[in-house]
Structure 1
Amino acid sequence: MAPRKQQEIFDATLWMVAEKGYDGLTVEGVAERSGVNKTTIYRWWPSKAALLGAALVESDVLGFETPDTGSFRGDLVALVEQIVRLLTEPPGSDIAVTALAAAVRHPELDARRFFADRFARERVIFERAARRGELSASADPLLIVDLLAGAVWIRAVFRGLPLPEGYAEKAVSVLLDGL
């Protein structure tokens, strides 16, 4: 399948899930929106869960660039700022929150692939920091990401509170410097 057409299918999938929720997502609807036959979609993805899982990882809408600021602290701040944008700014916020929340109720929607893909990209931050001597070998990169991303999820999504200016720097400082 042509990459451009694949992106159109992924975009249609993500917009539909944002508008209608996972239960309202249909392969027929995605086919209509993207201008392809539903058999084409089923040829590549056997179910709507598989299609949404691929769209979460592969779509440009939820794109992710691994920060490289030259310092561990700077990279973490930039990473948290990306997570803040993902969870608070449309269209990413509508898509990510709806799709990832659906994964809780629908185990067939394997959101682990989304998080595994993101962490594989984030791991580079920790490898560079270790090479520069900024991070101990005993540090747990997944725990660090969970603490920072979890703080954003709790504040922005679950509590529905705004994230003040400088939130990313403050969260990283609390984690790295302690209270």
Structure 2
Amino acid sequence: MTVKERQRSGGRSEQVRLAVGRAVLELLAEERIAFTTVEVAERAGVNRRTIYRWWPTQDLLLAEALSQHARDLDVPDLGSLADDVRAFAHRVALFAADPVDLTMTRIMVSGSHPEFNQAIIDHFAPIMAGWYEMLDRAVERGDANQRHLPETVINSLVSPLFLAPLTGGEALIPARVDQVVDLILDAVGAVPR
């Protein structure tokens, strides 16, 4: 049963849920991975027994934060793969360097919160399907070849965009993002701009 199923929307329960999610997001924005239930309760202004009752694990607290923070990475449809991939890559680079998303990535990489990892995977499954459609559209238009699976192309594109802030502390600079895009466009037979 999820937190949302246990609580009615609106009223005090909704206010508590929102306050707890915001508190966790604040901790993540401070790059705090190992926060305590007491810290969340204090920041949210709720009794810690409420936290223990509604979110008995840190994974559930993280999932609550994800539900409030989750942002879509919309895929552009600008008419050419080169334009779509370039616009998309710059969006991903900024997303990956956001302090909350960067901390969530660190949590996933740590492997210490499998339920949270699964919540992220579930959240991004339909979003990633949209990313793959960007390549399918390009193949249909004749903008790209089918030598590589869409999953391979997208993973090759987004991996360095997420890895740069994870290892270097900041997003790739726009010129480096463009270099990654050019490499991907070359791999799929598209003409870089």
| TM-score higher than 0.5 | yes
Residue 117 of structure 1 pairs with residue 123 of structure 2: yes
1:16 pairs with one of 7, 13, 27: 27
Residue 47 of structure 1 pairs with residue 73 of structure 2: no
Aligned length: 172
The one-letter amino acid of 1:67's match is: V
The one-letter amino acid of 1:53's match is: A
Counterpart for residue 37 of structure 1: 47
TM-score (ref. length: structure 2): 0.70
1:171 CA drift (Å): 1.6
TM-score (ref. length: structure 1): 0.74
Identity among equivalent positions (%) equals 20
2:182 pairs with one of 173, 176, 179: 173
Distance 1:166 1:31, change over 3 A: same
Counterpart for residue 150 of structure 1: 159
Map 1:27-176 onto structure 2 (within 5 A).
27-56=37-66, 58-60=67-69, 62-71=70-79, 72-88=81-97, 92-93=98-99, 95-103=100-108, 104-108=110-114, 110-127=116-133, 129-131=135-137, 133-134=140-141, 139-160=148-169, 163-176=172-185
* Structure 1: 5+ residue stretches without partners: none
Distance 1:26 1:149, change over 3 A: same
Name which one, 1 or 2, has greater alpha-carbon Rg.
2
